[in-house]
């Protein structure tokens, strides 16, 4: 949950989290109520699709939901409050 807690402190608000539970042994609880500031779309897989399969599933969902950019974070990642604002600024300057 440290990852979500750090994302909850971001100073950039135009983003959505797609959380894929790839049939983990410990099912994640629904997190929307705890992180009211975040927009979280959760998927609970009945089978483990593997690392690439879970990522591909997230990509497809993000594209269906109109994402301009996609960023992957593992659940043990924590971020600084300004990291997303800086990444988006660089991405918008360099379309490649």
* The pLDDT of residue 1 is above 90: no
Range of the domain at 9: 2-93
Hey, is 17 helix, strand or coil? strand
Q: Given this model, what pLDDT does residue 49 score?
A: 93
User: Residue 53's domain is classified under what CATH number?
Assistant: 3.90.550.10
Distances (CA, A) of 35 to 17, 42, 49, 53: 11, 13, 27, 26
Name the pTM for this structure: 0.82
Q: What is the pLDDT of residues 31-80, one digit of tens each?
A: 655 676 778 888 888 999 998 999 999 999 999 999 999 999 998 999 99
What is the count of structural domains for the chain? Answer: 1
Q: How far is it, in rounded angstroms, from Cα 81 to Cα 30?
A: 23
Task: Tell me the C-alpha to C-alpha distance, in Å, between residue 9 and each of 36, 58, 88.
Answer: 11, 22, 16
pLDDT value at position 23?
A: 84
Q: Which of 86, 85, 82, 62 is nearest to 72 (CA)?
A: 62
């Amino acid at each position: 949950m440290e990852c979500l807690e750090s994302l909850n402190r971001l100073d950039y608000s135009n983003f959505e989290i797609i959380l894929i539970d790839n049939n983990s042994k410990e099912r994640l609880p629904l997190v929307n109520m705890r992180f009211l500031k975040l927009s979280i779309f959760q998927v609970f897989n009945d089978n483990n699709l593997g690392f690439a399969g879970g990522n591909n599933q997230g990509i497809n969902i993000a594209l269906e939901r109109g994402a301009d950019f996609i960023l992957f974070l593992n659940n043990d990642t924590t971020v600084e409050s300004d990291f997303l604002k800086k990444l988006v600024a660089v991405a918008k300057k360099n379309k490649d």
